[in-house]
Amino acid sequence: MTVTPDSGHLDRVGYLFGHPIAHSMSPLLHQTVYEGLGLKWAQLPLDSTDMDHFLKLIQDPKFYGASVTMPHKVAILKHLDSLTDEGRDVGACNTIFTRLDPTTNKRQYIGTNTDVVGIRDAFYENISDAEACFHGRPALVVGGGGAARSAVYALTKWMKATKIYLVNRDRSEVDAVIKECTERGFGGELIDIATVAQAEQLEGPGAVVSCVPNFPPRTKAEKDARGVLECLLAKPHKGAVLEMCYHPSSWTEIAELSKTAGWKVILGTEAMIWQGLEQDKFWTGKNAHDLPVKKVHEVIASKLNESRI
């Protein structure tokens, strides 16, 4: 049974809709923003798989928007009035915002995808010279899930990657990423790198996005993928690595390998924070740098430190 959080004390209400969501820092991030702006708003966690219940909740006149996470990012699409370019191209929605239709004056529910913006901004907010670091160079994506698809989109659309290497233990997952991204129009040149011998012949990447959990490679396929990554990290050009994994620790084996090899490491909390601030741009109408960015970073870092104790 879905428990509906109480919103009677709020001026405006939003939701984090997904399952499971117990470890999500999204409500904390947004609460920090609203407190910093003096708003009596909150994003309430709705740990649920009941789509009908969620669709009823968002009819509330006080509803301002929602974060949508697994398993609803694709299922929600058919219930929305429209999608932004990012939401349509990626084919997954992690953010709902509302606007009034100028003709009918009815509220419209619009979906977008800020995951792709989070990846983009994690690089541009942490790298002072993108031109020297990763513009006009190949990029590398490690993994084969939804985050890998978002990374391909950001690298292709905004980050001037000439081609994208894909490294993963599962060839069928890589094939699916290539097929889906190409069909959706942001595939560019995607290359499956399966062996170290293949990697040795390639130009080194400038931007790397790691989208896999933090665990040591055990199977042959996992060891092969790690070997390919290590080979590419050892290339002469040293760029920046975004390590998307940040739970339970933001410092992973791949982060350590990258740092040792001379790369700049960007923590996954950066992507999480910047995608969240992008959401609040839609919800509050303010630019990201008009939001309490520094305070958000402090609060998220403190929360991560707590979880390690």
Of residues 186 and 151, the one with the higher pLDDT is 151
Q: What number is the average pLDDT over the span 193-205?
A: 97
pLDDT in the model for residue 269: 94
| Each residue's pLDDT tens digit, 152-198 | 999 999 999 999 999 999 999 999 999 999 999 988 899 999 999 99
On whether residue 287 sits in a domain, the answer given is no
pLDDT in the model for residue 6: 73
On whether residue 1 sits in a domain, the answer given is no
Nearest in space to 228 (alpha carbons), one of 210, 250, 252, 247:
210
What's the mean per-residue pLDDT of the chain? Answer: 94
* Residue 304's pLDDT band (cuts 50, 70, 90): confident
pLDDT in the model for residue 309: 52
User: Which of 26-30, 120-124, 184-188, 285-289 has the least mean pLDDT?
Assistant: 184-188
pLDDT in the model for residue 7: 73
On whether residue 77 sits in a domain, the answer given is yes
Q: Check whether residue 234 and residue 136 sit in a common domain.
A: yes
Determine the structural domain holding residue 89 and report its residue range. 12-113
On whether residue 190 sits in a domain, the answer given is yes
> pLDDT at residue 4 above 90?
no
Q: Check whether residue 253 and residue 222 sit in a common domain.
A: yes
Number of domains comprising the chain: 2
| Each residue's pLDDT tens digit, 270-280 | 999 999 999 99
Q: Check whether residue 46 and residue 142 sit in a common domain.
A: no
Q: What is the CATH number of the domain that holds 151?
A: 3.40.50.720
157 catalytic per annotation = no
**Of 62, 73, 157, 264, which one is the catalytic site residue?**
73
pLDDT in the model for residue 128: 97
Q: Check whether residue 121 and residue 263 sit in a common domain.
A: yes
On whether residue 309 sits in a domain, the answer given is no
Q: Check whether residue 173 and residue 89 sit in a common domain.
A: no
On whether residue 247 sits in a domain, the answer given is yes
pLDDT in the model for residue 270: 97
| Each residue's pLDDT tens digit, 67-124 | 999 999 999 999 999 999 999 999 999 999 999 998 998 999 999 999 999 999 999 9
Share of the chain above pLDDT 90, in %: 89
Q: Check whether residue 122 and residue 218 sit in a common domain.
A: yes
